[in-house]
Amino acid sequence: MSHSAVVSQAGAVSVSIGNERSLRRSVFKQNNSISFNSKSWSSSLALNQKTTNVRDAKRYTSRTICMSVQQTSCSKVTVSPIELEDPNDPPLNLYKPKESYTAKIVSVERVVGPKAPGETCHIVIDHDGNLPYWEGQSYGVIPPGENPKKPGAPHNVRLYSIASTRYGDFFDGKTASLCVRRAVYYDPETGKEDPSKNGVCSNFLCDSKPGDKIQITGPSGKVMLLPEKDPKATHIMIATGTGVAPYRGYLRRMFMENVPNRTFGGLAWLFLGVANTDSLLYDDEFTKYLKDHPENFRYDKALSREEKNKKGGKMYVQDKIEEYSDEIFKLLDNGAHIYFCGLKGMMPGIQDTLKRVAEERGESWDLKLSQLRKNKQWHVEVY
């Protein structure tokens, strides 16, 4: 199978596929062989690579194209291979901890500004089409080295929400992206960093270099899958920090990719809570969607160190939810899906806010929550 990419006058990237063999519906069990050929891409995509090899992760490192984190100037991109749309059920646990898949790091890019507390990286992984996934699923990562609690055994699996669509950042179905914050421990008494207590997996990922090998398990998860039967549905997405990862995948699928027979005509509403402006993740992408699709996308930010809520305290994501609570409740009553992803600590404050709003409306929050769960409108993934 081979394909070439062309740039139309409108600026959209079209990826065409030539199929050399019949495609089976059991696509998740087969080894797709899709590779960029040696044809040059338009210079407007800032691509300068004469030849590519799909089995070499380094093929990605010498180019910056509209698929990358910081580029959002392209129009919709036609994606391939379209057989990734065929299966009725999501791929689950294709690789397990004892038989993990060896992938390669394509790139590691810091995606927060200098004033952000801590470091967050966007990490692109080359799985060569062998580890397909759906939007909202997670990969497990097994960091190298020995488990200190089980001498001789490998480290435990760490789960990370996938931050790309099933086609990956390069739209060829061969990569996946993770959004990872480096976990650093500071001694409360001395205030100094204690490397022995730093997050093993997050530091391994953020320190990785292109071409490094990485052990992957999964994909896993069904709770955060994006329901797509109704293209006009409303999706309310609430995130803190790196919890925005699955929503980046949703939104790229809705607004960046030209997926055959899938046109999103509903409403996507993203609430993102971070510390400050420098901590915003994928803000360029989201701002571009807001400009290009004002009828279908809303984007509200809660910057806890820069904004105040109506009571004069720090602005958290639950304060933004309360600000728009009447509208949110009406959308939920009309069948909207609501998603929560981020640290566990976000949920108590959000639940308290929703309960208070429900009571002010003369409703029982417990009954409403039970109904939302029954209708499969309620999606929560916290860590």
Show which residues are catalytic: 160-161, 341, 381, 383
Token pair recorded at residue 19: 């199929």
DSSP 372: H
Distances (CA, A) of 278 to 24, 94, 120, 306: 46, 37, 11, 11
Rounded-to-integer distance, Cα 272 and Cα 286, Å: 11
Residue with structure tokens 């992957």? Answer: 216
Residue with structure tokens 């205030």? Answer: 191
Closest to 127 measured CA to CA, from 185, 158, 173, 89: 173
Those residues with Cβ within 8 angstroms of residue 291's Cβ, 6 or more apart along the chain or in another chain: none
Residue 187: how many other CB atoms lie within 10 Å: 10
Decide if 232 contacts 265 (C-beta within 8 A). yes
Rg (CA), the chain: 21
